């Protein structure tokens, strides 16, 4: 007999001793707290300390002291804690899967993607980091007379500001390369999902990272947002385009660098020669992973006229079969949304489209019978430019199918958005897919994949064009953004 599903209503709330163990590193002196609630149930989850602007200033001071000794180590002597962290994340995955699910309400399979990603991304930089940071010799202007090399100095103390949707992946993906490059980090995760980030910080210290190199602060942006920019030597921000633009401007006023991973309204182009079974499966995953609360998920699906109706019918049937549930095992296809405001936005986009004449091919309703923030995976057709769901990021489980007649139209419409984060092309002819990909203005394009290349390829840069971002994470770019290239030229007498 199969084991009974682990349901949140039956499971204990997070253990208070776990909460106090994880929150002890937060720089917060005033005693102010904020209470989070569990998206699955709407019930209180944890009371978390809140930092003030003065706490942020103090965190930077401590981090600066710790960073001086850390930067003096050669890169190869910094990586051992990160290799051990990789092993510990995998060993303790059950604990972190529960925390991620409690804080976000996501399905366990999507929480598992975070575990895998945090472990794999860390191991990548532990193994490749020292080579990427190695001195690079350059030929002198007058060969023989001058010897020149480039040395990668760490920037100093980096602010890492992250949202709630991938609370393990994102803080780790941005902090680990900064640390390996010789920086210290002051991290501000979203309070709703802070325990997940705090778990990662605690684990890396257990794995051997010296104290004060990765210091968490928590709090309202109005209280601590500016301090996080004003004390930093680089700001690594993930979140909405509006906040990203504000932070980039504030950093620029101090001539401090900023990398920003922002929103998307990502297109899929399904060509007439696509393998339909595989495409339906892939597009389904690309639209509804993490209930669509994924910056690189697909919200606009452009389908060639010749296969549009067949494809839309198959995709709608597959969407209708997805299972929604609040369980702490691997059975549900999709979980809850995380915030009430996210549910409201999703419902508003669908209602606006419906009222203006779009067809709802599947889903289209909230599901309070499962949990307060559940919304059905939803497929729309007939979405036009006057509808909010057409070009605004929904950031939820809503995608729309559109028709196209030829490649030029597909490319033009895929590019007709202010965003440029991710795209996908579905065709049996990969050479054709690559030709199309090079015409798309987005940081990543996947062929016969939704977002695999954008996410799982740690060696390749990932980021956005246009309003989707500034700079890149992953690969050499994701590491070297945290360094100042310093040229050292010498005359040998
Ligand atoms: P948000 O911009 O409101 O908040 C993101 C983070 O920034 C949170 O920790 C928040 O507390 C903090 N913040 C907000 N205002 C701030 C300020 N003035 N100064 C300093 N910090 C501030 O974003 P959100 O709505 O919570 O997250 C969803 C957005 O994030 C979506 O647009 C999504 O596409 C984007 N996102 C992008 C990526 C990527 O890699 N490109 C990944 C995940 C999410």
Structure tokens at 163: 């949202």
Output the CA 166–ligand 1 centroid distance in Å. Answer: 11
* Structure confidence at residue 451 (pLDDT): 81
* Structure confidence at residue 141 (pLDDT): 61
Spell out, as residue ranges, where the chain has pLDDT lower than 50: 1-2
* Structure confidence at residue 2 (pLDDT): 47
What is this structure's pTM? 0.96
* Structure confidence at residue 147 (pLDDT): 85
Atom of ligand 1 nearest to the CA of 241: 32
Is residue 261 annotated as a catalytic residue, yes or no? yes
Reading phi first (left if > 0) and then psi (alpha if -120 to 50, else beta), residue 395 is in left
Nearest residue (by CA) to ligand 1, atom 20, is 225
Number of helices and strands in the chain (H, E): 17, 22
Question: Ligand 1, residues 219, 220, 243, 263: which to mutate, most atoms within 8 A of Cβ?
Answer: 243
* Structure confidence at residue 14 (pLDDT): 76
Say yes or no: ipTM exceeds 0.85.
yes
Q: Reading across the β-sheet that carries 157-161, which strands appear in turn? A: 214-216, 184-188, 157-161, 234-238, 257-261, 469-470
* Structure confidence at residue 143 (pLDDT): 63
Atom of ligand 1 nearest to the CA of 242: 2
Question: Ligand 1, residues 163, 174, 291: which to mutate, most atoms within 8 A of Cβ?
Answer: 163
As a whole number of angstroms, the distance between CA 163 and CA 190 comes to 5
Nearest residue (by CA) to ligand 1, atom 22, is 221
Output the CA 385–ligand 1 centroid distance in Å. Answer: 26
What is the DSSP secondary structure assignment for residue 334, as one 8-state letter?
B
* Structure confidence at residue 492 (pLDDT): 78
Nearest residue (by CA) to ligand 1, atom 25, is 240
* Structure confidence at residue 398 (pLDDT): 98
Nearest residue (by CA) to ligand 1, atom 37, is 262
As a whole number of angstroms, the distance between CA 451 and CA 228 comes to 31
214, 187 Cβ separation under 8 angstroms: yes
What is the DSSP secondary structure assignment for residue 450, as one 8-state letter?
S
Output the CA 240–ligand 1 centroid distance in Å. Answer: 4
As a whole number of angstroms, the distance between CA 56 and CA 26 comes to 10
* Structure confidence at residue 493 (pLDDT): 75
Nearest residue (by CA) to ligand 1, atom 43, is 295
As a whole number of angstroms, the distance between CA 257 and CA 238 comes to 14
Backbone angles phi, psi at 187, to 5 degrees: -110, 135
Query: What are the start-end ranges of the H helices in 356-406?
Result: 388-391
Output the CA 378–ligand 1 centroid distance in Å. Answer: 24
Output the CA 38–ligand 1 centroid distance in Å. Answer: 20
105, 371 Cβ separation under 8 angstroms: yes
* Structure confidence at residue 457 (pLDDT): 79
* Structure confidence at residue 1 (pLDDT): 43
CA 345, 347, 348, 352 torsion-angle sign: positive
Among the listed residues 103, 113, 114, 261, the single catalytic one is 261
Structure tokens at 37: 């609630």
Reading phi first (left if > 0) and then psi (alpha if -120 to 50, else beta), residue 316 is in alpha
User: pLDDT for 184-236, tens place per residue?
Assistant: 999 999 999 999 999 999 999 999 999 999 999 999 999 999 999 999 999 99
What DSSP string runs through 214-268? EEE----HHHHHHHHHHT-SEEEEES-HHHHHHHHHHHHHTT-EEEEE----EEE
Q: Is 91 exposed, middle or buried (0-12, 13-18, 19+ CB in 10 A)?
A: exposed
What DSSP string runs through 459-477? TS-EE-EETTEESEESHHH
Q: Find the residues whose C-beta lies inside 6 A of ligand 1.
A: 161-166, 188, 190, 221, 225, 228, 238-240, 243, 246-247, 261-264, 295, 393, 395, 421, 464, 469
User: pLDDT for 252-299, tens place per residue?
Assistant: 999 999 999 999 999 999 999 999 999 999 999 999 999 999 999 999
């Amino acid at each position: 007999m199969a084991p009974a599903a682990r349901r949140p209503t039956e499971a204990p709330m997070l253990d208070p001793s776990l909460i106090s163990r994880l929150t002890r590193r937060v720089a917060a002196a005033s005693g102010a707290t904020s209470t989070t609630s569990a998206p699955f149930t709407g019930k209180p989850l944890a009371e978390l300390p809140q930092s003030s602007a003065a706490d942020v200033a103090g965190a930077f001071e401590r981090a600066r002291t710790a960073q001086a000794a850390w930067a003096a180590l050669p890169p190869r002597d910094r990586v051992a804690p990160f290799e051990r962290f990789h092993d510990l994340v995998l060993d303790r995955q059950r604990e972190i899967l529960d925390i991620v699910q409690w804080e976000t309400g996501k399905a366990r399979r999507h929480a598992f993607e975070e575990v895998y990603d945090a472990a794999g991304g860390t191991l990548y930089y532990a193994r490749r980091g020292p080579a990427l940071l190695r001195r690079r010799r350059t030929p002198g202007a007058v060969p023989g007379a001058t010897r020149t090399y480039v040395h990668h100095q760490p920037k100093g103390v980096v602010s890492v500001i992250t949202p709630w949707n991938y609370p393990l992946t994102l803080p780790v993906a941005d902090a680990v390369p900064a640390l390996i490059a010789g920086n210290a980090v002051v991290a501000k995760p979203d309070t709703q999902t802070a325990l997940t980030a705090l778990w990662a910080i605690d684990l890396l210290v257990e794995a051997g990272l010296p104290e004060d190199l990765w210091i968490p602060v928590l709090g309202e942006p109005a209280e601590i947002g500016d301090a996080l920019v004003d004390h930093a030597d680089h700001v690594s921000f993930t979140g909405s385009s509006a906040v990203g633009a504000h932070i980039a401007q504030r950093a620029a006023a101090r001539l401090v660098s900023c990398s920003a991973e922002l929103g998307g309204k990502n297109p899929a182009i399904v060509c007439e020669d696509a393998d339909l079974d595989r495409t339906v499966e892939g597009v389904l995953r690309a639209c509804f992973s993490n209930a669509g609360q994924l910056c690189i998920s697909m919200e606009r699906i452009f389908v060639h006229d010749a296969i549009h109706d067949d494809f839309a019918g198959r995709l709608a049937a597959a969407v209708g079969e997805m299972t929604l549930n609040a369980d702490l095992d691997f059975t549900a296809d999709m979980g809850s949304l995380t915030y009430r405001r996210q549910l409201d936005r999703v419902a508003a986009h669908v209602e606006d489209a419906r009222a203006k004449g779009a067809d709802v091919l599947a889903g289209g309703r909230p599901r309070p019978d499962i949990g307060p923030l559940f919304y059905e995976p939803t497929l729309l057709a007939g979405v036009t430019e006057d509808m909010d769901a057409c070009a605004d990021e929904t950031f939820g489980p809503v995608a729309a199918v559109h028709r196209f007649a030829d490649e030029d139209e597909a490319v033009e419409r895929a590019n007709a958005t202010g965003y440029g984060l991710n795209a996908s092309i579905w065709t049996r002819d990969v050479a054709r897919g690559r030709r199309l990909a090079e015409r798309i203005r987005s940081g990543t394009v996947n062929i016969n994949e939704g977002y695999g290349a954008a996410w799982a390829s740690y060696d390749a840069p990932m980021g956005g064009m246009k309003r989707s971002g500034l700079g890149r994470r992953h690969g050499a770019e994701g590491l070297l953004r945290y360094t100042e290239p310093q040229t050292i030229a010498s005359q040998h007498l």
